Amino acid sequence: MTKLHDQISRRTVLGGGAALAATLAMPGVLRAQEPKSVKIGILQPVTGNLAQDGELGRTGAEYAIKAVNDAGGIPSLGGATLEMVFGDARSTPEGGTAEVERMQSEGVAGIVGGFASPICLASSQAAARYDLPYVVDVGVSDKIVQRDLSNTFRFGPGFGTCSKTAIENLVKLNEAAGKPARTVVLVHEDGLFGSGLAKLMATELPKYGFEIFETIAHPTPARDMSNVALRIRSLKPDLIIPSSYYGETVLLMRTLYQQRVRPMGYYSVLNGAASNMRFVKEFPEIANLDMDCNHWHDPRKEEAIQLKKAVEDAGGLWAYNIPLNYSCVKLLADAIDRAGSVEPKAINEALAASTFEGHVMPYGPTKFDKGQNTGAAPVSLQVQDETIKVIYPEEFADAKPVFPISG
Amino acid sequence: MYSPDIIIEALLNGLLTGAIYALVALGLTLVYGVLHIINFAHGALLAAAMFAVLLINQLFGVDPYVQIPFLTVIFFAVGYGLQRLIIGPASHGRDENILLVTLGLSIVIENLLLAGFGSDTRSLNTDYSFNVYEVGPYLLSQVRVFGAAGALVTAALLWLFLSRSDTGKAIRAVAREKIGASLQGIDVAHVYAVTFGLGCACLAVAACLLLPTFYVNPKIGSAFVLVAFTIVVLGGMGSIVGAMLGGLIIGVVESMSGLFLGESLGQIGIFVIFILTLLLRPTGLFGAKA
């Protein structure tokens, strides 16, 4: 009986399969008219002040598109391949919105990128008019996900999460070393990003027993950091916390090094230099043991290691923009696959319900709450042996922190 | 309130930075004085010169200071060629055309740099980049002292050239009275090109002096050119001595206002001076009366 039951069961299954194939064949006729590729918009500032970051973001997106296509494209759309529609945001919000309009008219299924918060804010708003799915790659301003836009999703962590984690990790670091550091000087660029971060640090750090000696703002671009270095030299803080863009941070640290300022540590948050391999390569001595709390890939994931190797073998430099954009494009591809269509509404719903795990970031399970991935968090990094290592949280770490570095 | 040591060191820093500003302004003021145009491509040409220094250093390992003599000659030729072959012919003798042509040139140069070198911010590390002179309690950056000295020497040489040599005299003659000069047999087109070439040569020197302490990216020119323009206005448009003195004043003002008002507001001092100059002494410190 059991045997007979099995046979029937198998037949039923086979029959069911045949019926399914027949049903699929009908829409298959219709689907023959559908494009064999799905266009996705990649928006990055590749000219203007943010061009360096934009190029890195584009690199990550290109690798992801290639990875998705090599793995057979979008299965639910008959293996349709991803086709990149690239837009240069020209480092301005207006540049970003103009490109969103163009991408929409070219029929993209969704957009990934933006990099800077102002560009992400404006571009996702422009995309919202068409309900066009928009995945923010970096833009940390928390306003991005506080507007109840049903099309905007941020895969990475926001400003609040980043600064909270940064402070927690700093306190942990200091306590583990026997609380050697007590005094701090904050140096920040005077824009939205640097000022916001410095203000938060100045309120939060005293709660953990740190004394803020001084908060020094500087413009971008800064032509000279001698006076900032001069003041820091006279204050002799234990810790220096810079939040500036790449050029200024490098200039500051070079000047401080020259002025023989040797603090117990440099600890920055979302800084442009401390987690950029160019700095490590050009000034290994100065970058050594520099710490940063930032986005970074999961050093334990094989796919991340392979991606890093591929980028470096092609002569590129590794930075967080690459794995973030790589992951965001794969996230969108996964949503398109689950939606089984290129309809904006269906993709938005698929993104909102996403539990995507095929990314290369050190995040918990993907779960969007009002557009923000609640599983996202930054990690603390330190330059060790002329490369960048993860030191916190322990479960993702590939090195032990070295602190204090002097004094 | 800061201790006197900090104030004095900030003052010295201001002078060192100001000298480099002055050098960038020299080229701008010279071109204005003779051609009566603002060269909008000045910043982009500075960025190009800085990339040239970086490239030569990386390819052949030539020290930035050693590059000064031949890079100056190359950039003189570049400037001469630009004026003779592009700016001059394209302007059809109208000043507003020259303005637009130089603006167009700056866009082309910046984008060529972007295409050629990418958008990365790069720096050059030399053995002596981090050396300092200890003068009493002060630590003066060696490369910045070299930079300031180089800027002063360049200005002095330029001044000597303009006041003593025949070509210099021809340049001054064209600056004062173009038609009169051409009636005396001076080739005005040639003088224009020489002047533009000299402006670019100053940028080449500035680039060689800047790179050991500063970074470079295709947009870097804009960081210097606005300050340079203020210096030109303060010093008197077309005046070499004015540019030099103006540069030092602006450097000190920026440093002091940065120290007392905060680095972000350090810029305010520069623009207050700019407005005051326009209001109270439109000809600048050493400018000719209109």
- Structure confidence by residue, pLDDT tens digits, B251-263: 999 999 988 888 8
Say whether A218 and B139 touch across the interface (CB within 8 A).
no
Say whether A260 and B262 touch across the interface (CB within 8 A).
no
Q: Out of B129, B131, B263, whose CB is closest to A228?
A: B263
Report residue B74 as tokens: 């190359």
Which residues in chain B have Cβ-Cβ distances shorter than 8 Å to A234? 2-3, 6
Closest Cα in chain B to A226: B13
Contact present, B50 and B116 (Cβ < 8 Å): no
* Torsion, Cα of A289, A292, A293, A297 (10° steps): -80
Residue A384 Cα distances to A168, A241, A403, B14, angstroms: 21, 18, 12, 36
User: What 3-state class would DSSP assign to A215?
Assistant: strand
Q: Phi/psi class of residue A78: alpha, beta or left (left: φ > 0; alpha: ψ in -120 to 50)? A: left
| pLDDT digits 0-9 by tens, A29-44 | 444 445 589 999 999 9
Report residue A144 as tokens: 């991005």
pLDDT at A101: 97
Say whether A258 and B130 touch across the interface (CB within 8 A).
yes
pTM of the model: 0.82
Closest Cα in chain A to B143: A258
Which residues in chain B have Cβ-Cβ distances shorter than 8 Å to A219? 263-264, 266-267
Q: What ipTM was reported for this prediction?
A: 0.84
Which residues in chain B have Cβ-Cβ distances shorter than 8 Å to A194? none
Angle at A335 between CA A334 and CA A341, to 5 degrees: 110
The distance from CA A73 to its chain's CA centroid, rounded to whole angstroms, is 23
Contact present, B71 and B207 (Cβ < 8 Å): yes
pLDDT at A379 over 90: yes
CA B286/CA B42 separation, integer angstroms: 22
Say whether A223 and B3 touch across the interface (CB within 8 A).
no
Which residues in chain B have Cβ-Cβ distances shorter than 8 Å to A51? 114, 119, 217-219
Contacts of A60 (CB under 8 A, 6+ apart): A137, A321, A322, A323, A324, A325, A326, A329
Q: Is B277 on the interface with A (CB under 8 A)?
A: no
At A160, which amino acid appears? G
Which residues in chain B have Cβ-Cβ distances shorter than 8 Å to A271? none
Say whether B222 and A247 touch across the interface (CB within 8 A).
no
The alpha-carbon gap from B194 to the nearest alpha carbon of chain A, in Å, equals 30
Q: Out of A46, A224, A231, whose CB is closest to B119?
A: A46
Q: Out of B114, B132, B255, whose CB is closest to A227?
A: B255
The distance from CA A402 to its chain's CA centroid, rounded to whole angstroms, is 25
| pLDDT digits 0-9 by tens, A263-310 | 999 999 988 677 888 899 989 999 999 999 999 999 999 999 999 999
Mean pLDDT of chain A: 89
The kind and range of the H/E element at B29 are helix B4-35
CA A293/CA A175 separation, integer angstroms: 17
Angle at A176 between CA A398 and CA A159, to 5 degrees: 65
pLDDT at A20: 47
pLDDT at A1: 39
Closest Cα in chain B to A227: B10
The alpha-carbon gap from B17 to the nearest alpha carbon of chain A, in Å, equals 8
pLDDT at A330: 97
Q: Is B137 on the interface with A (CB under 8 A)?
A: no
Say whether A257 and B130 touch across the interface (CB within 8 A).
yes
Q: Is B107 on the interface with A (CB under 8 A)?
A: no
Averaged pLDDT, groups of 10, chain B, 290 residues long: 88 94 94 87 96 95 95 97 93 83 93 87 87 89 94 95 94 90 92 95 96 90 89 90 94 91 84 91 76
A vs B, Cβ pairs < 8 A, gives 104
Q: What is the residue whose two structure tokens read 């006197």?
A: B4
The alpha-carbon gap from B11 to the nearest alpha carbon of chain A, in Å, equals 10
Say whether B222 and A221 touch across the interface (CB within 8 A).
yes
The distance from CA B124 to its chain's CA centroid, rounded to whole angstroms, is 20
Q: Which domains, from first to last, does chain A contain?
A: 37-157+300-376 (3.40.50.2300), 160-294+380-396 (3.40.50.2300)
The kind and range of the H/E element at A63 are helix A51-70
Report residue A266 as tokens: 């440099």
